[in-house]
């Protein structure tokens, strides 16, 4: 769980602003919910046999003896909030397009791009049955990569998990296959064999990967409706011109997924290659106590996107410019300097202004002005106050120092 230092925060602000602006432009509304939830929410929503629930959640009993968990992901919380506040039903199914952001928590082995406190943006859409909403989420994320200059570094992988019947038939075939090769499986895969055999397909153990390559594929068990839905998604992507790869082994790590699943992956971050992933989870609303309803969403990791931006030199250098103006207050001019700063802020609210505090002679203040990164130093001393003027020194350009009347100082910036 890392601190975010001032040198890093401009990149985060830049990325967060780009993502929020994009989601809002597509008609998604912001949602916020607590860091803590009842543990049962994640057991029912994510699946008790998943690694997240079995190994990674931060869970504890509060003073009332209730089991609480720091949220390991956002989808279950979003469904819970929508149900609690009756956002999904009003004389029939309502549609909702929502987004959220914030920290999530999983007790994993820390490594580059994978931390125990990590940050995600999530998008969820409820009440949309057709393939168009699946395609819209992919189109929207493709636009984000283009806006960030990352389109050449990420690629889209897609699969369909079908409906419950498709998955049950495939599961039975998987269990039969892996049971016949049980002596070749690693310990984790043997444990998953009866609880969550789909997860064996994306095992990172080399010997298990070789077995998984020959395992029955879910595409051979897909029902007609799921096939038609998936074909509809692909047709829209083809029409828009978004390239993709169908990956039959893509299953995602959560039990609630059905039909379309997807990941945006990169080869620029080593083993942590997924920067955005999600899919349909049409059964989760009912599983958590609501009426049956359609749902789809995704999560994208902020830490990994920051690393990717940095790896590709995609962070605009101007975002690190922290100040426009540094006001040097010489002698007994501190009150006048504060008045000048507030007048400038009234006239140019977006201007970044720092008034020197803490005293010091003119030379020491000018050194601090230069180290601040400001473009201009405004110099205010007793003589300037008496004459109603301000000294102007350009710190980043070879321009002569000048003097300007105080009531005209804003003309330098507006």
Residue range(s) defining the domain that contains residue 332: 322-412
Q: In whole angstroms, what separates CA 208 from the centre of its chain?
A: 31
pLDDT, one tens digit per residue, over 261-293 is: 999 999 999 877 999 999 999 988 998 888 889
Q: Which of 257, 290, 311 is at the close of a domain?
A: 311
Hey, how many other C-beta atoms are within 10 angstroms of the C-beta on 2? 11
pLDDT (0 to 100) of residue 92? 59
More confident residue, 344 or 255: 344
pLDDT, one tens digit per residue, over 219-231 is: 889 999 999 999 9
pLDDT (0 to 100) of residue 383? 93
pLDDT (0 to 100) of residue 253? 64
Which CATH number do you get for residue 328?
A: 3.40.50.800
Q: What is the DSSP string of 9-70?
A: HHHHHHHHHHHHHHHHHTT-EE----SEEEHHHHHHHH-TTSHIIIII--EEE-TTS-EEEE
Task: Summarize the confidence of residues 329-344 as an average pLDDT.
Answer: 93
Query: Which one, of 161, 191, 177, 218, lies nearest residue 50 by Cα?
Result: 191
* Angle between the N-to-C axes of helices 9-25 and 131-148, in degrees from 0 to 180, rounded to the nearest 10: 140
183 domain residue, yes or no = no
150 domain residue, yes or no = yes
Indicate whether 279 and 395 sit together in one domain.
Answer: no
Percent of the chain clearing pLDDT 90 (strictly above): 70
173 domain residue, yes or no = no
Percent of the chain clearing pLDDT 70 (strictly above): 98
pLDDT (0 to 100) of residue 407? 85
Indicate whether 239 and 296 sit together in one domain.
Answer: yes
Q: Which of 291, 311, 331 is at the close of a domain?
A: 311
Task: Summarize the confidence of residues 342-367 as an average pLDDT.
Answer: 93
Task: Summarize the confidence of residues 312-322 as an average pLDDT.
Answer: 90
pLDDT tier at 343, thresholds 50, 70, 90? very high
Which CATH number do you get for residue 46?
A: 3.30.930.10
Indicate whether 108 and 229 sit together in one domain.
Answer: yes
Compute the chain's Rg from CA coordinates.
28
Indicate whether 41 and 130 sit together in one domain.
Answer: yes
More confident residue, 257 or 340: 340
Task: Summarize the confidence of residues 379-393 as an average pLDDT.
Answer: 94
Indicate whether 330 and 294 sit together in one domain.
Answer: no
pLDDT exceeds cutoff 90 at 122: yes
Number of domains, the chain: 2
217 domain residue, yes or no = no
- Phi, psi angle pair for 380, to nearest 5°: -130, 115
Indicate whether 25 and 99 sit together in one domain.
Answer: yes
More confident residue, 348 or 298: 298
Indicate whether 365 and 303 sit together in one domain.
Answer: no
pLDDT exceeds cutoff 90 at 366: yes
pLDDT tier at 114, thresholds 50, 70, 90? confident
pLDDT (0 to 100) of residue 91? 59
Indicate whether 19 and 112 sit together in one domain.
Answer: yes
Place of tokens 């043997």: 190
Q: Which of 246, 276, 311 is at the close of a domain?
A: 311
Q: What angle do CA 385, 390, 395 make, to 5 degrees?
A: 145
201 domain residue, yes or no = no
Indicate whether 242 and 384 sit together in one domain.
Answer: no
Handedness of CA 42, 45, 48, 53 (dihedral sign): negative
Indicate whether 229 and 109 sit together in one domain.
Answer: yes
pLDDT (0 to 100) of residue 196? 79
More confident residue, 9 or 166: 9
Indicate whether 52 and 131 sit together in one domain.
Answer: yes
Task: Summarize the confidence of residues 91-111 as an average pLDDT.
Answer: 89
293 domain residue, yes or no = yes
Indicate whether 149 and 30 sit together in one domain.
Answer: yes
pLDDT exceeds cutoff 80 at 93: no
Continuous segment of H or E residues that includes residue 410: none
208 domain residue, yes or no = no
405 domain residue, yes or no = yes
């Amino acid at each position: 769980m890392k601190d975010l230092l001032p040198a890093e925060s401009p990149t985060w602000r830049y990325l967060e602003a780009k993502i929020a602006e994009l989601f809002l432009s597509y008609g998604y509304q912001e949602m916020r919910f607590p860091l803590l939830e009842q543990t049962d929410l994640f057991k029912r929503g994510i699946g008790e046999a998943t690694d997240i629930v079995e190994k990674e959640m931060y869970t504890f009993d509060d003073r009332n003896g209730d089991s609480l968990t720091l949220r390991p992901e956002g989808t279950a919380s979003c469904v819970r909030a929508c149900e609690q506040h009756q956002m999904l039903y009003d004389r029939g199914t309502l549609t909702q397009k929502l987004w959220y952001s914030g920290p999530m928590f999983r007790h994993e082995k820390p490594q580059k791009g994978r931390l125990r406190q990590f940050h995600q943006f999530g998008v969820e859409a409820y009440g949309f049955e057709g393939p168009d909403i699946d395609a819209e989420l992919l189109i929207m994320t493709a636009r984000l990569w283009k806006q960030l200059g990352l389109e050449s570094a990420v690629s889209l992988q897609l699969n369909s998990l079908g409906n419950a019947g498709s998955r049950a038939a495939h599961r039975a075939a998987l269990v039969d296959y892996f049971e016949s090769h049980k002596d070749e499986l690693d310990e984790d895969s043997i444990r998953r064999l009866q609880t969550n055999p789909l997860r064996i397909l994306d095992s990172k153990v080399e010997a298990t990967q070789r077995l998984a390559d020959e395992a029955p594929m879910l595409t051979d068990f897909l029902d007609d409706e799921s096939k038609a839905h998936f074909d509809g998604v692909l047709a829209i992507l083809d029409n828009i011109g978004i390239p993709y790869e169908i990956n039959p082994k893509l299953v995602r790590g959560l039990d609630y997924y059905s039909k379309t699943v997807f990941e945006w992956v990169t080869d620029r971050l080593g083993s942590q290659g997924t920067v955005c992933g999600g899919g349909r989870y049409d059964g989760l609303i009912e599983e958590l106590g609501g009426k049956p309803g359609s749902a789809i969403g995704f999560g994208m990791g902020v830490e990994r996107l920051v690393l990717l931006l940095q790896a590709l030199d995609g962070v605009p250098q101007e975002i690190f410019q922290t100040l426009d103006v540094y006001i040097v207050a010489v002698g007994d001019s501190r009150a006048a300097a504060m008045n000048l700063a507030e007048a400038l802020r009234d006239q140019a609210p977006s201007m970044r202004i720092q008034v020197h505090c803490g005293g010091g002679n003119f030379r020491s203040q000018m050194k601090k002005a230069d180290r601040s990164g400001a473009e201009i130093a405004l110099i205010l001393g007793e003589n300037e106050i008496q004459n109603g003027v301000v000294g102007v020194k350009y710190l980043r350009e070879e321009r002569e120092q000048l003097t300007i009347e105080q009531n005209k100082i804003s003309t330098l910036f507006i």
